[in-house]
Structure 1
Amino acid sequence: MRQTGGRAVLQVHPTRLCNLRCLHCYSSSGPDVAESIPIAVLRQVVRDAVDLGYDVVNVSGGEPFLYPELPALLRAARDAGLRTTVTTNAVALNQRRIGLVRGLVDLVAVSLDGDAATHDRIRDRTGSFDKALTGIRRLVEVGIPVGVVTTLTQGNATQLGDVALAAADSGALLLQVHPLEPEGAANRLMPGERPDAVELAYAAVELGRIAEEHGLAVQLDAVPRTVLTRRPGAFMAAPVEPDTPLGRWLTPLVVEANGAVVPVSYGFDRRFWLGNVHDRPLADLAADWDPDPFLTLCRGTWERLVNGRTGPLIPWYGHLVRASRADAPPPRPRSSC
């Protein structure tokens, strides 16, 4: 989940190991991907994040509950004064794993990507929808607040009511809808399924109905064009005063599973990265980072969207990630030596 109540979010991907191989996985995680960050490095990361102005840590993946040091990471974040959220597919959520994080997490976000058939197709495993609902109920039973995250595709907006009903019946409190972006596995396995303007508009209307009928808090990760136009500073499209703490204007800040630190989203083009926490502490990377190229990118993307022909709802982060890759030089060919 990208943001929590307007707070400054540090998003940490401690591992790319996952028990599923989802068609839309932006990090291309899976059962045979062992990439991860040692807990000693992440303890320093969360301590540095507080000094940079961040107040929420969201742990994502891969599957965070397969990271053996997840409880230690959450405890370090809590000890540093940060709120904590975890995003999970919930398939691995047995009572033992839940017990290890009880009292350490403020919200667990469980992914449900449509009705049972659609979810199981995207997750590439039959029965994963039912296991996710079981995981939600187990979390709720021990008093851990739960939200549901749905990836919106070109074909599942009409299923949001089914998702909301399943979520509410299982005890979830929040439904967040995030438009699919052609990143990672989705670029290969779900071509043409990114939702268009009509699908976004339908989702917005449906979420209004869901909030009224089911009592769920709802969030669509797309902004009205009027808001984009009136508030450039909220989209990092305005100058930033020197020495302003990073968390005051850049959220989320992302630590990828290989240690790379990037703005906004996993996979953001490396031309704009801060560096790697395996090499230097996050505090040093932030102190030496020149944000001007990134801010120029934000301003140019903002101007293009405001002045261009777009729909009434704009998935800002998706546009920004794609803009980060525009005009990037092609990768160098590997040497034959």
Structure 2
Amino acid sequence: MMPERIRTVKEFTAASRERELVGITQAAYRVTEKCDRLQGPCGARCFSNHGEQQPDPTIEQINEVFDNLLNAGVNAVNIFGGEPLLRKDIVDILRLGRAKGFIMTLTTNCDFMSEELMAEIAPFIDYLSVSLDGESAKANDKYRGKGQFAAVKRVIDWYDPKMPFQLKVNTQVHKLNYDEIDDIPKLFGDKPVIWKLLQYTPREAGLQCKDTFAITCAEFEEKGRQIVEKNRVALDRNLYLYLRTYSYDEVPDVLIIRPQGDVLLNYQEGYVVIGNAHSGNIANMLVMTEDQHPGYFDANSREFNDSYPIFPT
């Protein structure tokens, strides 16, 4: 059986408690498809085969999408890319999402994060989500690119648990880094950190490198067992660990919005466009999706709850 920690959110922000959930819990909004790093498993899984990059949405278009999501009962928005910090108005975007009452996550590769910017965005996010695919610069930067380990390590060092957001570190577990991730928790020190391990699961164009990176569910579960055994002290003290297996046969659980409003659903080995956030009603899209894929609402909410806990105070 897969080892697991407490995997329920103990509380939400006041705004989310006041809003009754109609459909799913979280949408992921790609506010840019520009990125300074497109390589290895990161680029393959992030961009897949979505065609040409779409132009960045204006702040007015983002506001329109936020309102559409609100009307659909969505509680949480993950702002990602591409690399969202390439946008000069990223603080304005996060401020707008906070004003709407969303639980806000910013996902970044940390290349353009500074201590000053981190302090500036802090009031407008609930989670800062970063990625590490290796326990050292040598191990991580083979897959994420030179300097990415150092960029993330700086953010971890700057992070103060008294800040009004929680730090989440994502690690894709694949064939090549299988023996290079066990000591990642040592980088966290005594700071409370959410560590999500994802079984590498390519889609669309990413399938071209499947044989290079993909591992089986059994291999992933064994790695999870090893990590739990090695990090028992941290797990009892300051580490929340979520081990996420993937299967192409499972019920879809994400909702992705591309820069120009295309609404995507993960389905088997690819993504399906189910509408556009500027010309269609997202609430109707969600109802249609639940009808076609029973259990979608629950799967989305469960994935959010497992991935974004709140440490008890």
Give, as a single letter, the amino acid of the residue that structure 2 aligns with 1:262: L
Contact 1:35 1:258 in 2 (8 A): yes
1:17 matched to 2:21? The reply is no
Cα RMSD of the aligned pairs, angstroms, is 3.6
Deviation at 1:96, TM superposition (A): 3.4
Partner of 1:259: 261
Which deviates more, 5-14 or 128-137?
5-14
Counterpart of 1:66?
86
Asked whether the 8 Å contact 1:58–1:87 carries over to 2, the reply is: yes
Structural mapping, 1:68-147, within 5 Å? 68-116=88-136, 117-123=138-144, 125-140=145-160, 143=163, 144-147=165-168
Structure-1 residue corresponding to 2:25: 8
Tell me how far 1:97 sits from its aligned partner: 2.4
**Which segments of 5 or more consecutive residues in structure 2 lack a partner in the other structure?**
1-6, 11-23, 297-302, 304-313
Match of 2:202 among 173, 176, 182: 182
Whether the 8 Å CA contact 2:202–2:269 is kept in 1: the answer is: no
Question: In structure 1, how many angstroms separate the alpha carbons of the residues matched to 2:195 and 2:230?
Answer: 9
- The 2-side partners of 1:269 and 1:39 are apart by 26
Correspondence for 2:55: 35
Q: Which amino acid aligns with 1:291?
A: T
* Cα 1:8/1:93, change in 2 over 3 Å: same
Offset at 1:149? 0.3
Amino acid at match of 2:37: L
- Contact 2:203 / 2:270 at 8 angstroms: preserved in 1? no
Could you list the runs of 5+ residues in structure 1 that have no partner in the other structure?
229-234, 237-249, 299-316, 318-337
Q: 1:187 to 1:297 in 2, by over 3 A?
A: farther
- TM-score when normalising by structure 2: 0.73
Residues 40-84 of structure 1 show CA distances to partners (whole Å, capped at 9, x for unaligned) of 122122222222121111111111211223222222221121111
Could you give the per-residue CA deviations for residues 252-310 of structure 1, whole angstroms, max 9, x where no partner exists? 3211234210224799433xx321234x15xx243267337742798xxxxxxxxxxxx
Name the SS of the counterpart of 1:62 in structure 2: coil
The size of the alignment, in residue pairs, is: 268
Structure 1 residues 4, 175: closer, same or farther in 2, change over 3 A? same
**Identical-pair percentage:** 18
TM-score for the superposition, normalised by structure 1 = 0.68
Given that residues 261 and 274 in structure 1 are in contact (C-alpha distance below 8 angstroms), is that contact kept between their aligned partners in structure 2? Answer: yes
Deviation at 1:33, TM superposition (A): 5.7
Whether the 8 Å CA contact 2:72–2:282 is kept in 1: the answer is no
Q: Does 1:269 align with 2:271?
A: yes
Alignment partners' CA distance in 1, 2:295 and 2:72:
22
Q: CA distance change for structure 1 residues 19 and 266 in 2, over 3 Å: closer, same or farther?
A: farther
- Aligned residue for 1:198? 218
- Which residue does 2:18 correspond to in 1? none
Partner SS state of residue 124, structure 2: coil
Q: Find the residue that maps to 1:274 and give its secondary structure.
A: strand
1:287 equivalent in alignment to 2:252: no
Q: How much does 1:4 deviate?
A: 8.2
* Structure of higher RCO (CA pairs closer than 8 Å, 6+ residues apart): 2
Matches of 1:266 and 1:113, distance apart in 2: 24
Contact 1:149 1:175 in 2 (8 A): yes
CA contact (8 A) 2:172 2:198 kept: yes
Match of 2:14 in 1: none
SS in 1 for 2:116: helix
Residues 1:190 and 1:89: Cα distance change in structure 2 (over 3 Å):
farther
**Which has the higher Rg, Structure 1 or Structure 2?**
1
CA 49–296 in structure 1, closer or farther in 2 if over 3 Å, else same:
closer
Q: Which residue of 2 aligns with 1:153?
A: 174
Paired residues of 1:256 and 1:266 also in contact (CA < 8 A): no
Distance 1:58 1:202, change over 3 A: same
